[in-house]
């Protein structure tokens, strides 16, 4: 009965989605201090309790002191964030089990009441899994070595404490639960090596061996799977599956290849997400950018945009990043004070948000519509939380909208509301288009996998708005991650790394109104740091004179605004 009560009490404290926004993780930092205090009080009341419980208290004190010394930036490190979530999920469960050996119900109820009063969200199992999967995503994208990552090393730099054998095991198990045997194999091997130097071991060898053996089997290495399972049966004779699995593997081999040296471990990565340009996308995220085409190399330039009356007084710096299609970076077009206001204004427009981030912003996880069921569901290809802000909500939003019209030259009356997003642990947005596509693309046209909606839905995506398709995108960078977080155009070989206060701009449609398939783009995972962005999707309606159709097929812009000698003054 006592266990049932505890489950009910604690179930209400766990919230998923914390890993999807760094702001939530920063807000959660103080939770470890609360855990320390509770454990200390409990030990004081039960002085003769188990020494094991006191050991947990000391560990929490040490870890919390380190986190407080670093400050909010502590969770911008993906390894620290993973460990923080792990400590507040799986390790807290161990504390619960120790408490349950005596009359702990009343004490735990006090913990529950205090957590509810504090209005701090606590992580759940989905958060632990999400944090682990984020590490795997970062590992793949940035080609991070498993052993280095488990030792707190990223890019040759020591950025965090080492993971224990159990920490490493949990990452491998998260991969296993996703049927990702490629990563499971790598992390379980490292976990096995780590416990050899641990006393006592933080995880049983038998637990690791079972996952490791099955991953080897899934990779086609049945003999090594059999060898490990035999060892499992030897060190854990009462294991419920070991003997049966030994016979299963032996029957599978049917006496073949049973002698001689074991085959080498060849770990094969298998993609499940259907992203055909995965290698090119990840290479761009790492900054492996192909050389600029010779015909454009000497034409890329910076200039001052002064083609509006206001801009003659306050010209805007423009950097041309590429041609064909055109992409530019507007420099210093949003101030720090405006960024602060925009974050604060996001809070009242966010559904399902019940807790404020440290800066006062309420956040929710990005959702998309399932093309088969029509239901809204959490996006797995987009790890972020977002909000929409109307133009009349605050003078800052109105001012930013006017400024967008000034520097793009495009009418803003039919644009969508300003969308604000905070990317989470390993936060990313897989390759996608911003425009809604139609069935007939003409000569050479084709249809590529899209994540937001089905083709049928895309054809009518903006019908109710009566504003036409998304002609262009403005993306404000409101923070600058230490590493990662680039915006990449997969088919163009272009990568733009966030530079705070700047805005990236590109056209989604050609001059004839057809979608430009070359604008398929993605947001790379954030490796270290925080990524805040806001974007404005500008629609066709109202642009008939600001961006008219070209007189010739395929005509396109080479700059934004006026490049007269006057406007081009340095």
Nearest-angstrom CA–CA distance, 99 and 53: 8
- Sign for the CA dihedral angle at 188, 192, 197, 203 comes to positive
Residue 506's beta-bridge partner residues?
A: 327, 473
Between residues 372 and 221, the one the model is more confident about: 221
Nearest-angstrom CA–CA distance, 16 and 46: 33
Give yes or no for residue 403 having a pLDDT over 90. yes
Cβ atoms of residues 483 and 144 within 8 Å: no
What value does the mean pLDDT take over residues 445-454?
36
Give yes or no for residue 136 having a pLDDT over 50. yes
Nearest-angstrom CA–CA distance, 215 and 270: 13
- Sign for the CA dihedral angle at 228, 234, 239, 245 comes to positive
Q: pLDDT at position 115, please?
A: 64
Helix 165-177 with 78-87: angle, nearest 10 deg: 90
Give yes or no for residue 368 having a pLDDT over 90. no
Band of pLDDT at residue 118, cut at 50, 70 and 90: low
User: Which pLDDT tens digit goes with each residue over 346-361?
Assistant: 866 654 333 333 343 4
Between residues 208 and 458, the one the model is more confident about: 208
Band of pLDDT at residue 566, cut at 50, 70 and 90: very low
**Ranges 14-18, 93-97, 491-495, 535-539: which has the least confidence:** 14-18
Cβ atoms of residues 105 and 42 within 8 Å: no
Nearest-angstrom CA–CA distance, 383 and 372: 21
Long-range contacts of 435-440 (CB under 8 A, 24+ apart): 435/469, 435/470, 435/471, 435/508, 435/509, 435/515, 435/516, 435/519, 436/461, 436/462, 436/469, 436/470, 436/515, 437/515, 438/515
SS3 label, residue 539: strand
Band of pLDDT at residue 382, cut at 50, 70 and 90: low
Between residues 388 and 384, the one the model is more confident about: 388
Give yes or no for residue 318 having a pLDDT over 80. yes
Could you tell me what percent of the chain has a pLDDT over 70?
Answer: 73
Give yes or no for residue 362 having a pLDDT over 60. no
Between residues 292 and 469, the one the model is more confident about: 469
Nearest-angstrom CA–CA distance, 426 and 22: 9
Report the greatest alpha carbon distance in the chain.
88
Nearest-angstrom CA–CA distance, 553 and 442: 13
Q: What is the DSSP string of 128-184?
A: HHHHHHHHHHHHHHTT--HHHHHTTEETTEE-SPPP-HHHHHHHHHHHHHTT-HHHH
Band of pLDDT at residue 538, cut at 50, 70 and 90: very high
Cβ atoms of residues 287 and 495 within 8 Å: yes
Give yes or no for residue 570 having a pLDDT over 50. no
Give yes or no for residue 316 having a pLDDT over 80. yes
User: Which pLDDT tens digit goes with each residue over 503-513?
Assistant: 999 999 999 88
**Ranges 66-70, 127-131, 457-461, 507-511: which has the least confidence:** 457-461
Give yes or no for residue 568 having a pLDDT over 60. no
Give yes or no for residue 445 having a pLDDT over 50. no
Cβ atoms of residues 483 and 286 within 8 Å: no
Q: pLDDT at position 87, please?
A: 76
Q: pLDDT at position 32, please?
A: 65
Q: pLDDT at position 275, please?
A: 58
Average pLDDT score, the chain: 80
Q: pLDDT at position 460, please?
A: 57
Closest CA to 385 of 46, 95, 16, 21: 21
User: Which pLDDT tens digit goes with each residue over 488-500?
Assistant: 998 899 999 999 9
Nearest-angstrom CA–CA distance, 190 and 208: 10
Give yes or no for residue 51 having a pLDDT over 70. yes
Cβ atoms of residues 508 and 515 within 8 Å: yes
SS3 label, residue 53: helix
**Ranges 24-28, 135-139, 206-210: which has the least confidence:** 24-28
Q: Which phi and psi (to 5°) does residue 542 adopt?
A: 95, -5
- 565's CB contacts (< 8 A; 6+ apart) are none
Q: pLDDT at position 264, please?
A: 64
Closest CA to 306 of 502, 545, 558, 562: 562
Give yes or no for residue 5 having a pLDDT over 80. no
Band of pLDDT at residue 300, cut at 50, 70 and 90: confident
Band of pLDDT at residue 116, cut at 50, 70 and 90: low
* Residue 393: DSSP 8-state: G
- 434's CB contacts (< 8 A; 6+ apart) are 470, 473, 508, 519, 521, 537
> CB neighbours (10 Å) of residue 262?
12
**Ranges 173-187, 207-221, 245-259, 302-316: which has the least confidence:** 245-259
């Amino acid at each position: 009965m006592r266990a049932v009560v505890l489950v009910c009490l604690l179930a209400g404290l766990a919230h998923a989605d914390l890993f999807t926004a760094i702001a939530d993780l920063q807000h959660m930092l103080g939770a470890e201090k609360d855990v320390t205090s509770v454990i200390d009080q409990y030990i004081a009341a039960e002085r003769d309790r188990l020494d094991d419980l006191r050991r947990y208290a000391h560990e929490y004190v040490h870890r919390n002191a380190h986190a407080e010394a670093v400050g909010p930036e502590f969770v911008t490190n993906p390894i620290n964030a993973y460990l923080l979530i792990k400590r507040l999920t799986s390790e807290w469960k161990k504390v619960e089990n120790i408490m349950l050996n005596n009359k702990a119900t009343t004490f735990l109820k006090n913990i529950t009441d205090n957590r509810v009063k504090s209005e701090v969200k606590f992580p759940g199992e989905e958060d632990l899994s999400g944090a682990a999967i984020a590490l795997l995503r970062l590992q793949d994208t940035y080609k991070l070595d498993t052993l280095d990552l488990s030792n707190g090393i990223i890019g040759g730099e020591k950025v965090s404490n080492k993971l224990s054998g159990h920490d490493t095991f949990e990452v491998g198990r998260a991969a296993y639960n996703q049927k990702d045997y490629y990563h499971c194999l790598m992390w379980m091997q490292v976990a096995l090596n780590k416990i050899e130097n641990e006393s006592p071991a933080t995880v049983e060898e038998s637990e690791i061996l079972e996952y490791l053996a099955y991953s080897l089997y899934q990779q086609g290495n049945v003999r090594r799977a059999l060898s490990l399972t035999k060892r499992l049966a030897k060190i854990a004779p009462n294991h419920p599956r070991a003997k049966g699995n030994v016979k299963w593997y032996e029957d599978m081999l049917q006496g073949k290849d049973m002698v001689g040296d074991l085959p080498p471990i060849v770990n094969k990565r298998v993609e499940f997400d259907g992203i055909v340009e995965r290698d090119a996308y990840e290479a761009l995220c790492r900054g492996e950018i192909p050389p600029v085409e010779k015909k454009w190399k000497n034409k890329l330039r910076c200039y001052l945009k002064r083609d509006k009356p206001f801009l003659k007084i306050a010209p805007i710096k423009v950097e041309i990043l590429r041609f064909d299609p055109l992409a530019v970076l507007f420099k210093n077009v949003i101030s720090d004070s405006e960024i602060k206001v925009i974050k604060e204004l996001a809070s009242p427009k966010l559904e399902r948000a019940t807790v404020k981030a440290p800066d006062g912003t309420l956040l929710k996880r990005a959702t998309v519509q399932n093309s088969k069921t029509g239901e809204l569901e959490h996006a797995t290809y987009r790890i972020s939380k977002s909000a929409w802000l109307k133009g009349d909500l605050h003078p800052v939003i109105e001012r930013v909208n006017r400024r967008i019209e000034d520097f793009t030259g495009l009418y803003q009356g039919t644009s969508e509301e300003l969308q604000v997003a905070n990317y989470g642990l390993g936060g990313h947005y897989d390759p996608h288009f911003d425009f809604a596509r139609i069935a007939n693309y003409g000569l050479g046209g084709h249809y590529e996998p899209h994540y937001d909606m089905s083709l049928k839905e895309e054809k009518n995506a903006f019908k109710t708005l009566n504003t036409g398709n998304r002609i262009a995108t403005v993306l404000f960078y409101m923070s600058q991650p230490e590493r990662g977080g680039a915006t990449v155009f997969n088919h163009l070989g272009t990568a733009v790394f966030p530079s705070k206060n700047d805005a990236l701009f590109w056209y989604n449609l050609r001059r004839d109104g057809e979608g430009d398939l070359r604008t398929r783009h993605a947001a790379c995972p954030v490796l270290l740091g925080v990524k805040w962005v806001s974007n404005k999707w500008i629609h066709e309606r109202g642009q008939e004179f600001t961006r008219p159709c070209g007189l010739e097929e395929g005509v396109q812009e080479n700059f934004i605004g006026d490049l007269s000698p006057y406007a081009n003054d340095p």
